[in-house]
């Protein structure tokens, strides 16, 4: 079982005490334990079982404005003694940085709300196997499906964050994740696709049969793809790809990218960066939310932020160090966003498909083609040609390219937002991008 | 070498007994112990931003019966913890009736020295070099708005204990030194990144102010990009420079030739063994035995000595890369390609240093042969869908070619192609094979492992360039 609060707190206070004794003026520590159990199936048979029990500790020590950190998976006191001594020694030898410090005391979280992030249910491997059998049987119904791989993971985690200012809090979280990857084949082609469900509570997980069928359907419809010519065309991003635009947006407004000057959104607060109708929220207190949390990785309380209001950028994502550098207060975003999402647009998915006589519907992108310094975007893509609201045929071996500065201003959102991941978007259309194909 | 049992209530002989008992009637399996120490010293924005040290210890216990793998890992090397793992494995593999394969090849060859690079250079010396890097670059060009430089060093000790007590060990040093520069001119920003590394001390790469050449290269790439025009969109001829652009080989064919995907028949290459998959003159090997290279290994993470595996010889597909599990199920031998990121992960067949060997043409001949196309010199990263065979990689330095001459630099763009057919489009192979500078990390199933690539200049007849200029 996952280690209890008492064990983690004891380790944390031991470290803080030792750091102080060895000469640290301030220090902070995170102790975490995570226990995962996974069962994998392949072609309706057990393929792999995997149990992991991970312990971790990371300690940051300060001497005045000097700072250094260590981390380890070995929590034996002997080892911690050696490491903390090394950490304090390294701190002494590291140059000062005027912005180094623990968070301001009045910004630290005062209470830990119960956001319903932990389900005590334990699912035995045999039950996971039952779920996967049902899933794979649904996934392999069609003869075109030639390979199925699926997986079920139960994860239970616990952590404590403590610092020398007296902050000490943590809580348990759980997740139950099922996924299915299927391969379909016809005379001309072989294609792969997937479906996935992850929830804090076991009872909220998608139905196994539905999940398997979904994965298979999404794979079969990709068979015998064509390559199209190069042109400028409206692009509709499936929800699972659309959320990636938000992830890029989040990296570009992180206080570290802003303070270093390496973001295309630097100095854009209170300026219009999206079209009028676009609102972006980061809401940490969603009950059972996959990205929910009470405080950030420095202990600073996290409130809901409306990052973009009617197209206008309102906030950066600020941590203590970069906040001090930018002369801004931390808004509890050390470690990034919580539940980040675009608010729904006001047209249905169907109307969005129908809004152009011809468009491209993208279901998968490959490559690391987002440059947050310049805003340039260029990735490989797979999807479908849409004509008059109908999916005509699958498409692959194309790229799509543009620049986020223009793309953000040309976004239209459907009204089909779901909270499936920690970052979520409704289906999205962007006009004015370039497709490269034949 | 780490003594994993020194501070534990578990003795080596007790561990051996639990291992042998658990793996009885299994086809394969082992206890993998790992102790790694790593550091990161980072200069950014004119300051030492981060000095951190990590020490990681743990084991992974694996039992294999036929196709089924049971795995359990923990950070606590103790009697309790190993017994619990053993119970987990046994409960997964309820009725095993295999015969343990004790056979594992032996070799005395070593491809790197047993050193700890972290301790071979003091923190103060590292900080001094990082500050010199910052000052050197900022004094060279007034347009420099940001400099980031870092040292990454690691020593990883592994021990593999097999059923019956056979033990294999390895100590692996690894370092990397990176410099990244951002220029700003007339409101436009561009970056340039360069790095060096491998399985030797920091000084082997940085002595005699050699760090200056790393800085110069990062600055050169950023300066080129500052003048770049929008990249073209569409199919055209592509000349790839030697060295790091070989990540094309890694993505286009490397992943598709890994044993697991071919056993499962999910790779676009699974039915092409012995067939022509590349133009004549194209030979590709995956080599774990080159001294001190980032992708080299004395033994893989199952204890098999690495080798030089011929994947494609003169255009014909010859071998897949194998770990023990996939080799057994495909009735062949492990090629010493069984790797894992660390003890938290299961072994998978992976690449080491993947190289296309030299031919006899020159880069000049290739450029001259192109009327309209691009010349790609440096890359960010790549990705492949091994089932459809489609792969991409991102240029970070490229030029247009017009009428046989190199023209203006073009903005970063993604190139996309089809793995099984791209190598048939290679119409010239250069005589200038070069290794990459030692900075590659390959990702698969959530696991990152250090790899190398190499190739000569090559001319590809047709690839889709993902620019914005129609």
The alpha-carbon gap from A206 to the nearest alpha carbon of chain B, in Å, equals: 23
Residues A246 and A348 both lie in one domain: yes
- Which of A170, A203, A220 is the last residue in one of the domains? A220
Closest CB to B412 among A83, A190, A378: A378
Are the beta carbons of A303 and A339 closer than 8 angstroms? no
In the stretch 280-319 of chain B, residues with CB closer than 8 A to chain A read: none
Residues A433 and A332 both lie in one domain: yes
CATH of the domain at A123: 3.30.2290.10
ipTM of the complex: 0.91
Tokens standing for residue B434: 């070069």
**Using the beta-carbon criterion (under 8 Å), do B55 and A369 form an inter-chain contact?**
no
Task: Give the structural domain span for A354.
Answer: 226-438
Angle subtended by helix axes B79-92 and B12-23, to nearest 10:
10
Alpha carbon A414 to its chain's center: 22
**Using the beta-carbon criterion (under 8 Å), do B92 and A93 form an inter-chain contact?**
no
A251 φ, ψ to 5°?
-65, -35
Are the beta carbons of B126 and B151 closer than 8 angstroms? yes
Give the per-residue pLDDT at B74: 95
Residues A114 and A247 both lie in one domain: no
Q: What is the rounded CA–CA span in Å between residue B373 and residue B371?
A: 7
Residues A273 and A178 both lie in one domain: no
Which residues on A lie below 8 Å from B412 (Cβ)? Answer: 369, 371, 376, 378
Quick check: A337 pLDDT over 90? yes
Boundaries of CATH 3.30.160 in chain B? 117-156+171-226
E strands in B213-294: 233-240, 284-287
Helix (H) or strand (E) holding B392: strand B390-402
Q: What is the rounded CA–CA span in Å between residue A302 and residue A319?
A: 11
Cβ of residue B66 closer than 8 Å to a chain A Cβ = no
Are the beta carbons of A282 and A242 closer than 8 angstroms? no
- Which of A220, A255, A277 is the last residue in one of the domains? A220
The pLDDT-based confidence of A276 (bands split at 50, 70, 90) is very high
Residues A107 and A212 both lie in one domain: yes
Give the per-residue pLDDT at B1: 60
Do strands A145-163 and A26-42 pair parallel, antiparallel, or not at all (unpaired)?
A: antiparallel
In the stretch 1-20 of chain B, residues with CB closer than 8 A to chain A read: 7
In tens, the pLDDT along A148-199 reads 999 999 999 999 999 999 999 999 999 999 999 999 999 999 999 999 999 9
Q: What is the dihedral of CA B92, B72, A34, A68, to 10 degrees?
A: -170
In the stretch 384-443 of chain B, residues with CB closer than 8 A to chain A read: 384-385, 387-388, 390-394, 411-418
- CATH code: domain B117-156+171-226 is 3.30.160
The alpha-carbon gap from B313 to the nearest alpha carbon of chain A, in Å, equals: 26
A350 φ, ψ to 5°?
-65, -40
Which residue bears the tokens 């199920």? B329
Do strands A231-237 and A358-366 pair parallel, antiparallel, or not at all (unpaired)?
A: parallel
Closest CB to B234 among A149, A230, A402: A230
Q: What is the dihedral of CA B198, B201, B205, B211, to 10 degrees?
A: 120
Give the per-residue pLDDT at B209: 87
In tens, the pLDDT along B400-454 reads 999 999 999 999 889 999 988 999 999 999 999 999 999 999 999 999 999 999 9
Tokens standing for residue A207: 């139905």
Give the per-residue pLDDT at B2: 72
Total domains in chain A come to: 2
Are the beta carbons of A190 and B265 closer than 8 angstroms? no
For chain A, the farthest-separated pair of C-alpha atoms sits apart, in whole angstroms, at 72
Q: Positive or negative, the Cα torsion across B323, B325, B330, B331?
A: positive
Are the beta carbons of B240 and B251 closer than 8 angstroms? no
Instruction: Write a three-state SS string for chain A.
Output: CCCCHHHHHHHHHHHHHHHHHCCCCEEEEEEEEEEEEEEEEECCEEEEEEEEEEEEEEEEEEECCEEEEEEECCCCHHHHHHHHHHHHHHHHHCCCCCCCCCCCHHHECCCCCCCCCCCCCCCCHHHHHHHHHHHHHHHCCCCCEEEEEEEEEEEEEEEEEEECCCCEECCEEEEEEEEEEEEEECCCCEEEEEEEEEECCHHHCCCHHHHHHHHHHHHHCCCCCECCCCEEEEEEECHHHHHHHHHHHHHHCEHHHHHHCCCCCCCCCCCECCCCCCCEEECCCCCCCCCCCCECCCCEECCCEEEEECCEECCCECCHHHHHHHCCCCCCCCCCCCCEEECCCCECHHHHHHCCCEEEEEEEEECCCECCCCCEEEEEEEEEEEECCEEEEEEEEEEEEEEHHHHHHCEEEECCCCCCCCEECCCEEEEEEEEECC
Closest CB to A397 among B146, B387, B464: B464
Alpha carbon A103 to its chain's center: 24
What is the mean predicted confidence (pLDDT) over A364-370? Answer: 93
Residues A344 and A425 both lie in one domain: yes
Chain A with chain B: Cβ pairs closer than 8 A: 242
Q: What region does A389 belong to: left with phi over 0, alpha with psi -120 to 50, or beta?
A: left
- Which of A220, A251, A272 is the last residue in one of the domains? A220
Residues A215 and A249 both lie in one domain: no
In eight-state DSSP terms, residue B276 is B
In tens, the pLDDT along A318-333 reads 999 999 999 999 999 9
Residues A277 and A350 both lie in one domain: yes
How many residues belong to chain A? Answer: 438
Contacts of B299 (CB under 8 A, 6+ apart): B107, B160, B168, B170, B305, B306, B336
Residues A236 and A170 both lie in one domain: no
Counting beta carbons within 10 angstroms of the beta carbon of residue A5, is it exposed (0 to 12), middle (13 to 18) or buried (19 or more)? middle
Which residues lie across from B161 on neighbouring strands? Answer: B31, B167
Give the per-residue pLDDT at B7: 84
Are the beta carbons of A154 and A37 closer than 8 angstroms? yes
- DSSP codes of every residue in B337-382: -EE-SSTTS--EE--SEEEEPP-SB-HHHHHHT-SEEEEEEEEEEE
What is the mean predicted confidence (pLDDT) over A389-408? Answer: 96
Give the per-residue pLDDT at B95: 79
The pLDDT-based confidence of A26 (bands split at 50, 70, 90) is very high
Residues A149 and A86 both lie in one domain: yes
Alpha-carbon distances, residue B449 vs A83, B40, B174, B305, B351 (angstroms): 26, 17, 11, 17, 9
In tens, the pLDDT along A221-260 reads 999 999 999 999 999 999 999 999 999 999 999 999 999 9
Residues of chain B with pLDDT under 50: none
Helix (H) or strand (E) holding B442: strand B440-444
């Amino acid at each position: 079982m996952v280690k209890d609060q008492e064990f983690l707190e004891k380790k944390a206070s031991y470290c803080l005490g030792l750091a102080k004794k060895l000469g640290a003026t301030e220090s902070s520590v995170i102790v975490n334990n995570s226990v995962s159990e996974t069962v994998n199936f392949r072609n309706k048979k057990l393929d792999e079982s995997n149990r992991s029990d991970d312990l971790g500790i990371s300690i940051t020590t300060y001497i005045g404005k000097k700072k250094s950190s260590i981390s380890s998976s070995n929590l034996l006191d002997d080892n911690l003694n050696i490491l903390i001594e090394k950490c304090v020694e390294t701190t002494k030898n590291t140059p000062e940085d005027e912005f180094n410090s623990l968070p301001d005391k009045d910004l630290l979280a005062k209470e830990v709300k119960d956001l319903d992030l932990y389900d005590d249910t334990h699912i035995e491997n045999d039950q996971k196997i039952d779920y996967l059998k049902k899933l794979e049987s649904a996934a392999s119904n069609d003869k075109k499906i030639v390979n199925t791989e699926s997986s079920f993971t139960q994860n239970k985690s616990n952590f404590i964050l403590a610092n020398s200012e007296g902050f000490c809090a943590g809580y348990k979280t759980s997740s139950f994740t099922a996924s299915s990857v299927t391969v379909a084949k016809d005379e001309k082609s072989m294609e792969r696709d997937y479906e996935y469900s992850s929830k804090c509570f076991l009872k909220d997980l998608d139905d196994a049969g539905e999940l398997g069928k979904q994965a298979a359907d999404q794979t079969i419809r990709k068979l015998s793809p064509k390559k199209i010519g190069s042109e400028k065309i409206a692009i509709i991003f499936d929800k699972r790809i659309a959320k990636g635009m938000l992830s890029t947006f989040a990296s570009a407004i992180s206080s570290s990218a802003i303070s270093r000057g390496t973001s295309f959104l630097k100095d854009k607060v209170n300026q219009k960066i999206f079209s009028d109708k676009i609102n972006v929220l980061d809401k940490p207190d969603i009950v059972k939310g996959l990205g929910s949390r009470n405080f950030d990785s420095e202990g600073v309380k996290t409130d809901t932020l409306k990052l973009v209001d009617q197209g206008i950028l309102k906030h950066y994502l600020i941590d203590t160090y970069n906040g001090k550098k930018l002369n801004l207060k931390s808004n509890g975003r050390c470690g990034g966003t919580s539940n980040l999402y675009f608010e729904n647009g006001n047209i249905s998915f169907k109307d969005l498909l129908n809004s152009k006589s011809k468009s491209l519907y993208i279901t998968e992108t490959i490559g690391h083609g987002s440059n947050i310094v310049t805003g340039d975007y260029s990735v490989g893509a797979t999807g479908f040609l849409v004509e008059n609201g109908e999916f005509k045929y699958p498409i692959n071996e194309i790229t799509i390219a543009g620049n986020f500065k223009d793309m953000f201003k040309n976004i239209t959102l459907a009204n089909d937002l779901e909270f499936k991941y920690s970052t979520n978007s409704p289906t999205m259309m962007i006009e004015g991008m370039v497709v490269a194909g034949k | 070498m780490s003594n994993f049992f020194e501070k534990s209530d578990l003795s080596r002989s007790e561990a051996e007994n639990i291992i042998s008992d658990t793996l009885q009637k299994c086809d394969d399996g082992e206890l993998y112990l790992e102790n790694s120490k790593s550091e990161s010293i980072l200069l950014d924005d004119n300051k030492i931003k981060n000095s951190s040290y990590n020490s990681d210890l743990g084991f992974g216990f694996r039992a294999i019966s036929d196709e089924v793998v049971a795995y359990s890992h923990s950070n606590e090397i103790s009697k309790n913890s190993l017994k619990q793992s053993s119970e987990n494995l046994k409960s997964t593999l309820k009725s095993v009736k295999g015969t343990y394969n004790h056979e594992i090849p032996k070799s005395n060859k070593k491809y790197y020295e047993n050193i700890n690079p972290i301790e071979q250079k003091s923190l103060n010396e590292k900080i001094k070099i990082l500050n010199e890097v910052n000052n050197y670059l900022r004094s060279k060009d007034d347009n420099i708005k940001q400099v980031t430089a870092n040292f990454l060093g690691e020593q990883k000790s592994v021990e593999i204990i097999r059923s019956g007590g056979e033990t294999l060990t390895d100590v692996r040093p690894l370092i990397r030194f990176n410099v990244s520069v951002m220029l700003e001119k007339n409101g436009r920003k561009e970056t340039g990144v360069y790095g060096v590394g491998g399985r030797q001390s920091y000084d082997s790469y940085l002595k005699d102010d050699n760090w200056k050449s790393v800085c110069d290269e990062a600055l050169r790439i950023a300066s080129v990009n500052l003048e770049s025009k929008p990249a073209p969109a569409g199919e055209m001829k592509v000349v790839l420079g030697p060295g790091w652009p070989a990540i094309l080989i890694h993505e286009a064919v490397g992943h598709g030739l890994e044993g697991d995907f071919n056993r499962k028949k999910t790779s676009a290459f699974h039915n092409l063994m012995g067939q022509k998959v590349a133009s004549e003159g194209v030979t590709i090997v995956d080599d774990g035995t080159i001294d001190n290279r980032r992708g080299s290994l004395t033994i893989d993470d199952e204890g098999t000595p690495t080798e030089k595996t011929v994947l494609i010889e003169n255009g014909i597909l010859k071998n897949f890369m194998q770990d023990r599990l996939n080799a057994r199920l495909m009735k062949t031998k492990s090629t010493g390609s069984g790797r894992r990121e660390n003890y938290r992960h299961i072994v998978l067949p992976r690449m080491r240093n993947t190289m296309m060997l030299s031919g006899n043409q020159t880069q000049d001949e290739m450029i001259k042969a192109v009327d309209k196309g691009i010349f790609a010199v440096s890359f960010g990263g790549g990705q492949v869908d091994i089932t459809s065979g489609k792969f991409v990689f991102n240029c970070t330095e490229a030029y247009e070619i017009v009428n046989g001459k190199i023209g203006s630099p073009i903005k970063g763009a993604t190139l996309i192609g089809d793995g099984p057919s791209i190598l048939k489009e290679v119409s010239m192979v250069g005589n200038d094979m070069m290794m990459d500078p030692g900075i590659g990390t390959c990702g698969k199933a959530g696991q990152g492992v250090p790899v190398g690539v190499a190739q000569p200049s090559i001319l590809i007849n047709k690839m889709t360039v993902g620019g914005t200029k129609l």
